[in-house]
Amino acid sequence: MTGTLLFVVVPYLCLAIFIGGHIWRYRYDKFGWTTRSSQLYERRLLRIGSPLFHFGILLVAVGHIGGLLIPESWTEAAGISEDAYHAVAVGLGTIAGIATLGGAAILIYRRRTVGPVFSATTINDKIMYVLLIGTILLGLGTTVLGNLTGHPHDYRLTVSPWFRSIFYLQPDTGLIEAAPIGFRLHALAAFVLFAFWPFSRLVHVFSAPLGYLTRPYIVYRSRDARLGSRAPRRGWDRVP
C-alpha cells in the first residue's frame, strides 16, 4: 500500500495539479503570470547568477528528458554503448548540476543581502527555492555518491521504465522500488515540485514572446512639424 500511495497516487495527483493548476492560473491570473523580475534593484550579481542557473537547469532538463523518455534499447540500436552513454550522462550531468547549484547560490545570496530584493521576496518564493534546490541536491548527490563508491545505479532499468509506465496508465511500482532510496526520494521531490509549480513564478518557463513577431510597429509621432533637417523616407511621413 505504501508503494502504491507514493509511486502511483502521488505522481498522478501531482500531474493533475500541474496541468489543472496551469489552466486555472492562465485563465484567472494572467497578470500574475510573471517572473516578478528584480533586475531594477540589482544587476551585478544577477548577470552572473541568472545565466549560470538557467543554462545549467536547461541542460539538466534536457538530460532528464533523454534519460527518462528514451529507452536503453534505442540508444543501443543507435550504436551508443551503455558505457559511453553513462560517461557522457554523468560528466555533463555533474557539470550542469554544479552550474545550477552555483547559480542558485548566487541568486539566493543576492536575494538575502540586497535589501529591495529581500523585501520583494515572498513566502511562495522561499518554498520554491527549498523544493527546487532540494530536488537538485537529491539527484546530484545520489548520482555522484554512486559513482564515487564504484556502484553507480543504472536508472534506465528502473526509474525510467517506471516513469514511462505512469503515462502508459500501467504504473509498475516494482521498478522504482528496486532503485536506491536516493533515486526514489529524488522522484518524489520532483513530483511535489511539479504540484507546486503552477502557483509559483516557475510558470514563466512556459512563456515565450511570440506575440512580438506579429504585433504592429509602435509609431512615434512628433508634435513639431519643423523637427529634423532631412526629408522623411517613404512610408515614414509625419502625421499631423
Residue ranges covered by each domain of the chain: 1-214
C-beta separation of 41 from 114 below 8 A? yes
- pLDDT bucket at 101, cuts 50 / 70 / 90: very high
Question: Hey, what CATH topology would domain 1-214 get?
Answer: Fumarate Reductase Cytochrome B subunit (1.20.950)
* Whole-prediction pTM: 0.82
pLDDT (average), residues 12-18: 97
195-215 residues labelled b (16+ CB within 10 A) or e (exposed): bbbbbbbbbeeeeeeeeeeee
- pLDDT bucket at 158, cuts 50 / 70 / 90: very high
- Of all helices (H) and strands (E), which one includes residue 117? helix 115-119
Q: Which amino acid is at 197?
A: W
- pLDDT bucket at 237, cuts 50 / 70 / 90: low
Query: What pLDDT score was predicted for residue 39?
Result: 87
204 labeled part of a ligand binding site = yes
86 labeled part of a ligand binding site = no
Q: What is the CA radius of gyration of the chain?
A: 24
